[in-house]
Structure 1
Amino acid sequence: MNITVFGATGAIGQLTVAELLDHGHTVTAYARNPQKVPASWADNVRVVLGEMSDAEAVDSAVAGADAVISTLGPSMDRRAVGTPLVPGTGYILASMKNHGVRRFVGHATPSILDPQESPTAVNRLTSFLARTFLPRAYEELVGMSDQIKSSGLDWTIVRFIRPTDKPKQPRVRIGFFGTDRLGFPVSRADIAAITAAQVEDDGYVGRAPAISN
């Protein structure tokens, strides 16, 4: 499959690209900063450079894809202004529809509810903390997720709370708050593996499963 990855040069994004390549997929990576593009991608990954505000570059990256993965997430820098990932996500979704690409996999936190989920203490706590201490980032995450969930595409949003730099762990829990037993930390390696696996798995289409170790 041809997979386009947005946020490809981030910590989880690079691991996701590696997972996709290991499983034999062809990868197009959308990158804002050419200096962050790993040298190891030279012969293996098609790189499209551009800002998320560049609708033409986003469209170029999506063209020819069988699925799109976005590991984009709001900046946690309190000095950040605006919500650029909201219109940027809109450009991705519009390009997917334009090119007939159905499968989208993204990321969020438990402050975003699965469509079939009732709020739990964890959902309420993460939402409260985000709204109180990182209101701009929370607004951006909600704006991104609302567009994805209402897109009409075959979407999945992988949710997690506390990513770590540990290697893949022997136990990975995946499910929904209120019905499944979930923890807090999860390795970025496991996030990447589960994210990459969704392009060939329709078990969570239209759902936002949460993961933890």
Structure 2
Amino acid sequence: MNVTVFGATGSLTVDELLADGHTVTAYARNPRKVPDSWTGKVRVVTGEITEKTKIYDVVAGADAVISALGPVMDRKAQGTPLVAGTQYIFDAMHTHNVARFIGHATPAVLDPHEKPTFTTRFTTFMPRTFMPRAYEEITGMCRIVLDSDRDWTIVRFLAPKHTPKQDRVRVGFFGTDKIGFAVSRADIAAFTAAQVDDPTYIRRAPAISN
């Protein structure tokens, strides 16, 4: 499949997609951070998430779109550019008739069939209280996804770690399944890439942990 990845710089997800045999277009803000290993394997387009025309161009011809975008945790940051960028992505998906979307979020965003638990309440209270701009951005992005008519999946996680893939990966929903806190970034990448052609979690927001 042809997959367009946003927030791709340094992303393990791109490597997983390549290993799975997909063709990847990576939309990256900083070309200096693009891995040398992608040379000749990945089409890299440099641009800001607010550049509407470029976003429309990289979505054209895609079979699926992955967004690994996440809010900047700098208290001095202003505005919610990722919300605007996400809207551009979905507008482009409508224009080019791209159905499949996979994104990332935290448990501050609930699955449509989920009820709040201590974990989801806590992970909502903390950013909303101490990082309100970032909280507004992640919830604003996800609101666009949840309200869309696309075949979306939101992969949620709490504490990503720079560790290798683990033997156990738990996937499920808060209040129903036993989900932990820490999760390997490598496992997030593998699970995210696998959703491209897996219909199991279409229009759901599974949580993942080790």
TM-based fold match above 0.5: yes
Counterpart check, 1:172 vs 2:172: no
Post-superposition CA distance 1:55-106 (Å, at most 9, x none) = 0001111111000000000011111111100000000000011001000000
Q: Secondary structure at the match of 1:27?
A: strand
Q: Does 2:19 correspond to 1:19?
A: no
Structure 1: where are the runs of 5+ without partners? Answer: none
CA distance in 1, matches of 2:127, 2:3: 31
Taking structure 1 as the reference length, what is the TM-score of the superposition? 0.98
Alignment-derived partner of residue 88 in structure 1: 85
Using the size of structure 2 for normalisation, the TM-score is: 0.99
CA RMSD of aligned residues (A): 0.6
Cα deviation code 1:10-47 (max 9, x no counterpart): 4xxx2000000001000000011111111111100001
What aligned pairs does 1:112-191 form with structure 2 within 5 A after superposition?
112-191=109-188
Code of the aligned partner of 1:101: V
Matched, 1:3 2:3: yes
Once the two structures are aligned, what percentage of the paired residues are identical? 65
State the SS of the aligned residue for 1:18.
Answer: helix
Aligned length: 210
Q: Distance between the aligned counterparts of 2:206 and 2:37, measured in 1? A: 32
SS at match of 1:147: helix
Question: 1:66 aligned to 59, 63, 84, which one?
Answer: 63
CA distance in 2, matches of 1:77, 1:58: 25
Q: Which runs of 4+ in 1 moved over 4 A?
A: none
